[in-house]
A and B are shown apart, each in its own frame.
Chain A
């Protein structure tokens, strides 16, 4: 599988003197799409991630749980280098995306982010029309013609289960949508550039139960074609939608296993206590 992918992946290498610079050979049939190795991260002097080593399975939903402030957001923001927007961040360790170290200096972050999309905690539609929101990503890639954009917009909104609700009002401001619709719009916007991986940082934490259920159904749909990494506060949500779960505590990845295993027979005492709700 990853051999097929390897051509696309090679695009994120910077071409230099006609050769692709590789930090590691692409692993043959690895089931993992993202691997982090001994990842450490500091905000100024405070360490937010401590030796995090983790494997993310391809085309599965992986949930990250843990008390707030334990570094879940920090971790998934490493996967698309979103932490680059802060200037007080130091990272050591490696993150491989299909075998390629994406922390390498030669990585073109913009291209990486086209492969690894992100949905944020608070829906953050751009203050423009619904159509323009979805077309934003394709337009960055110089797809500008309406005849090319229209099908992308339609397809993406359909994938995000929003098409039926907005197809008659594509020129309305995205701000006029409800919170749940806005979040699905953000998902459609991310899907429009056909990423491999979707990072979701508590995507339902600001939504009501009905909107949450819609998003959860959507994630179950999406995992057929995409790898989803979702941060969640809500343990029921993790059991409902994820195949694998990682439990983090104070910057460390305490335990990682299949969701069933984690919730039924966790190996670590900390995990057990967190899941049992016996936590401060």
Chain B
């Protein structure tokens, strides 16, 4: 068709063009200001990322005056105090091995549990499991660390008959629990996104449930699950407090490298332990910021891979893309090439797996045992296909159930520990009095109040900004480069380890301002940390407001802002509140962001201004359990109080969420 017609007007219609037209003519000042204000709020995320990078480089700027970059990267000794050596290898190795160990545990358990939740669980159980996963992600890292320190390391010590249980293994186990929720929830989303027709087609062709899952659903969700694993890895790498409490923190490279009982120190732990002990601006200090940059680079690489994968994943689901793809390639040849590439991959992975297992066994035992083990593995893989389908299904389901059981048991053990040990300590006196004798005696009143202040203030700063950015992204922008930059920044902030926020807050709100540790600095730092959560949930809730009721509003002559104000925001509010509560749940348990910015150990008074320091529950727990001998009892009580606060917040969020779902279901049926 010829697109231009003679003697006719050509009008390009764009949604923003309506808005522009109105703004030009009759709109009030506020309406004119809406877009710029929202735009500025959205830009804020970019600014923070920019400043983070800027300040870290600035703080690290003197780093390589005395120590060469080469020594930093390749040096195998990190003894800043005793020998002035700054070799980062032990720390990088520490981070690498603990994370690797964690992922070896988490990936199978997480994926199997995700399969159960997405494909097999009855509806009610699904909800319970989702809540459990949410709760696992909500338990503060100091609580995990505390559990690891008291229970897990003890078990390791006894079971493996070692002088101490504080080790790489303990760190990996704790990290695996902490990465689990990420892996599970992202995988569940990926599995749920597989079109039902695929499954129905497979089942219709006579496949049993496991065949449908393993041959159709899992391959279709492959990139989504990979994203889940990568995000989980990012989570594990960035974790500070829990690792710091259980890994023993010696800066050595495990010897042999597979010695899982060796103590290690991770990059994050080095930052958490050493920053408070250094002189600002000294060599040690600048070297630590060089480490921050290393950590930052690792995290950015990981986030980028995850983003790349999930973009690919979304593109695949985009109907436009599917249509185009179908046209271009005949289905048969596509399948052929896919099968070939899958075959190659399979061979590659299996060779890799054999070598890996062999190496691992070799380092733990002798060459014969290693050979036998590898051959057994080979036989299992070889003959797995020969096992009848029915039996395969049984084995697979057995594994799935045991994975679910393990997740469930883990939660019960951790929570049980916190509750059983904590309850005898709780009393009105404990809740309402001030600590005495370095917290061994007396209560935790100022820590409770301080935590509430910190979280309340964080919400006060983060919510308006988060809502404005989310609104901008959902309503006032189209896909373009700048918009992508905003999104990348938000994703980046979302994946940034909390200790990095802590250091950023420390530089900006404590050093630059000259205030030192203040409540305000802690609130602002926590606000930055929960900002991405609030932006995302706002954007999602706004996008989920159906187009037809917006059109109904436009059809009555409403303009964009009026529609947003009267229809869109009110419908999105429950979702936004849920996001906010989840953000609060996360903020209340965090130690790393407030450790350098806001909290002190012992206070006789409540903070009387935003510029005075505060006490906080997670930090109190951390110090009681690691540095105060005899602080055990009160540590139990503190852990319980912290846990209960988190539980209340997560419970509220879940209730809200189910209310929203119920409401929208009703909405749907009645239409």
Q: Are B557 and A122 in contact (CB under 8 A)?
A: no
> Would you list which residues of chain A between 61 and 113 have a CB under 8 Å from chain B?
80-87, 89-94, 101, 103-105, 108-113
Q: Could you say which residues of chain A place their CB within 8 Å of the CB of B10?
A: 90-92
A87 closest partner in B (C-beta): B14
Q: Are A114 and B554 in contact (CB under 8 A)?
A: no
* A50 interface residue (CB < 8 Å to B): yes
Q: Are A101 and B549 in contact (CB under 8 A)?
A: no
The interface bits of chain B over 319-356 (1 if a CB of A lies within 8 angstroms of the residue's CB, else 0) are 00000000000000000000000000000000000000
* Interface residues in B, total, Cβ within 8 A: 42
On whether A137 and B666 interact (CB within 8 A), knowing A93-B5, A93-B8, A105-B11, the answer reads no
Q: Could you say which residues of chain A place their CB within 8 Å of the CB of B556?
A: 113-114, 117, 136-137, 140, 189-190, 193
The interface bits of chain B over 517-555 (1 if a CB of A lies within 8 angstroms of the residue's CB, else 0) are 000000000000000000000000000001111111111
* A40 interface residue (CB < 8 Å to B): yes
Q: Could you say which residues of chain B place their CB within 8 Å of the CB of A179?
A: 670-671
On whether A176 and B3 interact (CB within 8 A), knowing A92-B8, A111-B557, A124-B552, the answer reads no
Q: Are B670 and A50 in contact (CB under 8 A)?
A: no
Q: Could you say which residues of chain A place their CB within 8 Å of the CB of B671?
A: 122-123, 179, 182, 206
* B608 interface residue (CB < 8 Å to A): no
On whether A124 and B9 interact (CB within 8 A), knowing A87-B478, A136-B566, A176-B670, the answer reads no
The interface bits of chain B over 1-42 (1 if a CB of A lies within 8 angstroms of the residue's CB, else 0) are 101110011111111011001100110000000000000000
Q: Are A110 and B548 in contact (CB under 8 A)?
A: no
* A42 interface residue (CB < 8 Å to B): yes
* B667 interface residue (CB < 8 Å to A): yes
A123 closest partner in B (C-beta): B671
Q: Choose from B21, B478, B550 the contact partner of A108 (Cβ within 8 Å).
A: B21
Q: Could you say which residues of chain B place their CB within 8 Å of the CB of A81?
A: 13, 18
* A238 interface residue (CB < 8 Å to B): no
Give the interface SS of chain A, mostly helix, strand, loop or mixed: mixed
Docked CA distance A81–B557 (Å): 11
* B657 interface residue (CB < 8 Å to A): no
Docked CA distance A104–B10 (Å): 9
A40 closest partner in B (C-beta): B5
B24 closest partner in A (C-beta): A14
A50 closest partner in B (C-beta): B1
Give the shortest distance, in Å, between B108 (CB) and chain A (any CB). Answer: 44
* A55 interface residue (CB < 8 Å to B): no
Docked CA distance A85–B550 (Å): 10
A37 closest partner in B (C-beta): B8
* Interface residues in A, total, Cβ within 8 A: 57
* A212 interface residue (CB < 8 Å to B): no
Q: Could you say which residues of chain A place their CB within 8 Å of the CB of B570?
A: 127-128
Docked CA distance A112–B553 (Å): 14
Docked CA distance A112–B14 (Å): 17
Q: Are B13 and A80 in contact (CB under 8 A)?
A: no
Q: Could you say which residues of chain B place their CB within 8 Å of the CB of A40?
A: 1, 5
Q: Are B9 and A136 in contact (CB under 8 A)?
A: no
On whether A113 and B9 interact (CB within 8 A), knowing A84-B18, A108-B25, A122-B548, the answer reads no
Q: Choose from B15, B21, B25 the contact partner of A85 (Cβ within 8 Å).
A: B15
> Would you list which residues of chain A between 106 and 147 have a CB under 8 Å from chain B?
108-114, 117-118, 120, 122-128, 136-137, 140-141
Q: Are B555 and A80 in contact (CB under 8 A)?
A: yes
* B571 interface residue (CB < 8 Å to A): yes
Give the shortest distance, in Å, between B265 (CB) and chain A (any CB). Answer: 53
Q: Are B667 and A120 in contact (CB under 8 A)?
A: no
B4 closest partner in A (C-beta): A92
Docked CA distance A97–B541 (Å): 38
* B567 interface residue (CB < 8 Å to A): yes
* Residue with the greatest number of chain B CB neighbours at <10 A, chosen from A92, A101, A177, A190: A92
Q: Are A92 and B559 in contact (CB under 8 A)?
A: no
Q: Are B553 and A38 in contact (CB under 8 A)?
A: no
Q: Are A42 and B3 in contact (CB under 8 A)?
A: yes
A110 closest partner in B (C-beta): B557
* A186 interface residue (CB < 8 Å to B): yes
Q: Are A127 and B571 in contact (CB under 8 A)?
A: yes
Q: Are A110 and B22 in contact (CB under 8 A)?
A: yes
Q: Are A90 and B21 in contact (CB under 8 A)?
A: no
New contact pairs (9) apart from A40-B5, A92-B11, A104-B9, CB-CB < 8 Å: A81-B18, A84-B18, A108-B26, A113-B555, A117-B556, A120-B551, A125-B549, A175-B667, A182-B671
Interface residues, chain A, CB within 8 Å of chain B?
Answer: 14, 37-38, 40, 42, 47, 50, 80-87, 89-94, 101, 103-105, 108-114, 117-118, 120, 122-128, 136-137, 140-141, 175-179, 182, 186, 189-190, 193, 206
15 A–B contacts from the bound complex (CB under 8 Å)? A38-B8, A84-B14, A92-B5, A108-B21, A109-B18, A109-B21, A113-B557, A118-B555, A120-B555, A126-B549, A127-B667, A136-B556, A175-B667, A186-B552, A189-B552
